[in-house]
A = this chain, B = another copy of it.
Amino acid sequence: MVQTSNFTMQEGDVPSLEANQALVRVKFIAFEPAMRGWLDDVKSYVPPVQIGDVMRASGVGEVIASKNEKYAIGEYVSGMFGWQEYAVIKETSDKIGAPLKVPPAVPPQLMLSALGGTGVTAYLGMLNIGKPGKGDTVLITGAAGATGSIAGQIAKLKGAEKVIGVAGGKTKCDWLLDECGYDVAIDYKSERVRRRLREECPTGVNVFFDNVGGTLLDDGLLNMARYGRIVICGGISAYNETEVPPGPKYYMQLVARHLTMEGFLLYDYTDQIDEARSQLSAWIQEGKIRHREDIQHGFEQIPQTFLRLFEGKNVGKQLLELEH
């Protein structure tokens, strides 16, 4: 398990700018379970964060100095600003790293939650792989997380008949039922998920959007409908294990029920991000998608806030606000 002692706080001067750079005063920092993987020294879709480096993270902030005509002082931008109070925007050819301007009418923190990587992941993962349709039963694990909560609402907007979320604790389940339009919420801490799914889905699950892995993935596998689709979006149950835990023991259900299981990684869909953001933005304005941010405060609380993800404490998007 990652610990607060894995991080140290260092003070330094506010950086001075070179040509074509801009300086951002960071206002909100975002936290995602996937960041845990960046701490492992293994080859993956992004290089690992090295010991001594600033922890990689997305954030949003205000441009307070600029030697680049693209960024005007006073504008808000989101980008990979890391765990720091001040970040320098450098010219980059990397589409992932390129900062985005926050449109004037949009609250900055929304660019890190429903309109950020997590909301966009929910949208693109659900629509490209899950493909929910009219009458479908849709299952989501980690349903009260930033991605899960939006994924279920998108399925509902696309005609799903029954959206089932698995989350930990009554607060999260109530939020799914009362605010997010979920039809069923299963509390994995107090209920037997596998049996409850069997009761709730007599004809099986057509789309399973998994953020958790572990036994919950098996619970879903054992309750799929024929020709069901499984979106592997995350596997938070395993992110802090030192040994890779056993995989889904009931994967042979893929054969017995003719299932498809496919991994989703946002980086593979960069050409669809603008479309996703604009549709999500419209739905939010129309009140069709509810979202929630869990906002902690203070620079020194950053490591503690990161841990909240793995302690199951956050409801909705985990953010931290810096008071300058």
A residues with a Cβ closer than 8 A to B are 44-45, 213, 218, 232-235, 238, 244-265, 268
Contact = CB atoms under 8 A, between A and B. Distances in A.
Contacts of A254: 232, 261-263
B260 A238 contact: no
Nearest to A243: B249
Most buried by B among A232, A252, A257, A265: A252
Contacts of A244: 249-250
Given A246-B247, A262-B260, A252 B233 contact: no
* Main secondary structure on A side of the interface with B: loop
A168 to B, nearest CB: 21
B245 A249 contact: yes
Contacts of A249: 244-247
Contact of A260 (B44, B246, B252, B260): B260
Given A246-B247, A247-B248, A254-B232, A263 B268 contact: no
A257 B252 contact: no
Nearest to A239: B252
19 contacts: A44-B256, A45-B256, A213-B252, A232-B254, A232-B255, A233-B255, A235-B252, A244-B249, A245-B249, A246-B247, A251-B261, A252-B263, A253-B263, A255-B264, A255-B265, A258-B262, A258-B264, A259-B262, A260-B263
A250 B248 CA distance: 10
A260 B231 CA distance: 10
Contacts of A257: 263
Contacts of A265: 255-256, 258
Contacts of A250: 244, 247
Given A232-B255, A246-B246, A262 B261 contact: yes
A238 B258 CA distance: 19
Most buried by B among A218, A235, A238, A262: A262
Given A232-B254, A247-B246, A251-B251, A261 B264 contact: no
Contacts of A235: 252, 255
A218 to B, nearest CB: 8
A245 B255 CA distance: 16
Contacts of A246: 246-247, 249
A76 B103 CA distance: 75
A182 B30 CA distance: 50
Most buried by B among A235, A253, A254, A264: A254
Contacts of A258: 262-265, 268
A251 B247 contact: yes
A235 B251 CA distance: 10
A255 B33 CA distance: 14
Given A260-B262, A262-B261, A232 B252 contact: yes
A252 B238 CA distance: 10
A257 B256 CA distance: 25
